[in-house]
Amino acid sequence: MRQTSSFQESSTGKLYLVPTPIGNLNDMTPRAVEVLQAVDLIAAEDTRNTQRLLNHFEITTPQISFHEYNTRERVPQLVAKLQAGENIAQVSDAGMPSISDPGRELVAACTQQGIPVIPLPGPNAALTALIASGIAPQPFLFYGFLPRKKGALAAAIAQLVNERPTLIFYEAPHRLAKTLTALADGLGAERSVCLCRELTKRYEEFLRGTLADAVEWAKDATIRGEFVIIVAGNEHPTVQKEPQEQGSLTEQVDRLITSEHLRPTDAIKRVAKQNGLKKQAVYNEYHGLNKE
């Protein structure tokens, strides 16, 4: 286990993950402002967008661009600055870094190098929508943006059809109607849904009903703004069990070793899972340890 302490002295700089408002500037926390003022550098998804935020709070800290198209180049640069003792704040355009935004690769690189990573709490569209949706808030499964291509979209939704937790998706306005139709087809038109639009902004709006209602609404509505889609989970999932392989446990293990070229340990693990048994039980059977 690698251990780093957020607030103890460190030989390196520290990476601060700073959430920014998703619409309402008043949601910026005093701590977030203080951190952005105090660090040596701000790594921003869009420096032009972040500059407007910095101007509003009279923050003069310099910025560097850090987005999905320059991640490979920027991560080593930022890690080097941190190792040299600089403190860096990372921000996305709105909400939490790394949640459907850049950041994960930088965090991973810092944790591997023992650089402290300090997350700040703050604005988040998914949770803001969830608690106002009227749909069960826990457990929930945050998915983010679904695939754009039709086949991949249908396949992704098919993987979610039996999930009990409430499902949370993000979607852009120009793809909303297509996504709602795919969700209704894949999950069932009678699933409860809440469409949450323009959260924390002047035109914040919640539309509640079934997926069938949402599809019908989208046919004629003027769709504007970013959406969070909250869909009720499946209260009565269909459990599809894998059919048990034919033959003895030993025969099943040998078959996997021969047909799929698995190592014996991996084949034993697979057979145990397929038969609902503990791995040790299959191991003992395969190696003849159960015989007197």
Task: Give the model confidence (pLDDT) of 242-289 as tens digits.
Answer: 544 468 888 888 888 888 888 898 889 888 888 878 888 888 888 877
| pTM confidence score | 0.78
User: Is residue 19 packed enough to be buried (19+ CB in 10 Å), middle (13-18) or exposed (0-12)?
Assistant: buried
pLDDT in tens, 176-225: 999 999 999 999 999 999 999 999 999 999 999 999 999 999 999 999 99
Residues paired with 16 in a beta bridge: 89, 118
pLDDT in tens, 90-144: 999 999 999 888 889 999 999 999 999 999 999 999 999 999 999 999 999 999 9
One-letter amino acid identity for 169? F
Distance (Å, rounded) from C-alpha 118 to C-alpha 254? Answer: 50
Per the CB < 8 A criterion, the answer to whether 194 and 134 are in contact is yes
Per the CB < 8 A criterion, the answer to whether 143 and 168 are in contact is yes
Quickly list H helices, 39-190.
47-56, 71-83, 104-112, 125-133, 150-158, 176-187
Q: Angle between the 71-83 and 104-112 helix axes, to the nearest 10 degrees?
A: 40
Distance (Å, rounded) from C-alpha 259 to C-alpha 80? Answer: 48
Per the CB < 8 A criterion, the answer to whether 130 and 167 are in contact is no
Secondary structure of residue 259 in the 3-state scheme = helix
Residue located via tokens 């998804």: 45
Per the CB < 8 A criterion, the answer to whether 86 and 13 are in contact is yes
